[in-house]
Each structure stands twice: as structure tokens, then as C-alpha cells.
Amino acid sequence: MIGKTAFENLKNLFKKVETELNKNLRINQTEKYWNQYYDVTDISITPWNDKLVTCNACCGGMISGKHPDIVLKELLALYGINKKFQWEEHLLKYLKSSEFKCKKITFPVAWPVARKIFDRELKKMRDEIDKGNIIFYHKKGHYQIMVGYQDDNFIFNDPAGDRKISKKLRERKSGKNVVYPYSMVKSEKIYGRCWSIEI
């Protein structure tokens, strides 16, 4: 049987280990997590009847707390049943109209050209996360929300699920607080701008 002093020492040791592990960890949560393959139920209203085009509605829903079906219908009503409802600037207008404060973090070198992200931009994103904000992250062909970081890696709420694993194996919640290594974030090109959102 373990003595009271030994138990206290063990408890303090676990606390120190936990503190060390979390020292370089920061996460700011979105209102909800939505997965574009599991949570979007009405794709008949999307162009091409395709859930692949709903990552922006899921991101809008994660930030606003609305179901992505509602965000999708509102975006389509505003911008039409064409590719325009997917445009980054339209989702930002939509968020700003709901009184979210949005600030540009990255700028396109030449529009519309995808490019690798710079370390100084990733540092800006970490700084914004330290302020309690999240990042609306526009990578080539996909939108996701950066919610935190741990050491050199970045934490996302990714509406496509954990993209490190095969799409067939991704469970609904696999994209919530998913950790993408620095090497993956650096290798995937950004398209357009990334935005800091006050939550």
C-alpha cells in the first residue's frame, strides 16, 4: 500500500510531466466542429451535388455555431449556385456581417497563384492564437481552421477530417484538433489569404 507522502510525491511528479507536455501547447476552440462528409446533409443545393465544395460552409459553421446546411443555404442565397459561393472573400463578408472581426494574415503574391507559406506568416498565426484568436486557413483547394499549435506543429479543425490518413478511414471527429506537422503545413501551398478571426 502506498503511503500518503509517496502518493503526494507521485501526484506532483505527474503534474510536472503534464506541465512540461503542455508548455508549448495552445488551443482556442471554435463554436462547433463540422465535418463536410458527415454533417452536410443537403448536397442537392450545391453545384455538382458534391460534398467536396462544402468545406467553406463547414468552416463558417464552426466559427458561427450554425449548422453547415444553414450556412450553405445562406451563402448560396447571397452569391448564387455557382463557384462564387465558395470564394474566400464571400465567406469573409458573411462572417463580418455577423460581426466577427477578421484580419488578413497572409497576402497573395500574385492572384490567383498558390504558393508556399512563409515562416514569418506562421509566426503571425501563432501570435494571433496567443491572443485567443483562430485562423481561417485557405490552402490550395481547401479551407480549414487553425485553432492552435504545439511546439513546431499546428492544430486544425479540418472539415475534411484528418488528411494524414485515407479518406475511407477517417471518422467524423478525426478532423477536430488534428495535429499537422510543420513539414506538412510548409509543403501544402496556400491560395489567397489566411485570416485571423476574433472569437
Q: What is the mean pLDDT of residues 33-46?
A: 82
Task: Report which residue type is found at 82.
Answer: N
Ordered by start, the domain boundaries in the chain are 4-197
Alpha helices in 80-155 (DSSP H): 88-97, 119-130
Confidence (pLDDT) at 41? 83
pTM for the predicted model, two decimal places: 0.84
pLDDT value at 26 more than 70: yes
Taking only Cα atoms into account, the Rg of the chain, rounded to an integer number of angstroms, comes to 19
User: In Å, how far are 95, 175, 176, 180 from 129, measured between CA atoms?
Assistant: 18, 18, 16, 16
Write down the mean pLDDT value for the chain: 86
User: Could you say which of 3.90.70.10, 2.40.50.140, 3.60.10.10, 3.90.1150.10 is the CATH number of the domain covering 4-197?
Assistant: 3.90.70.10
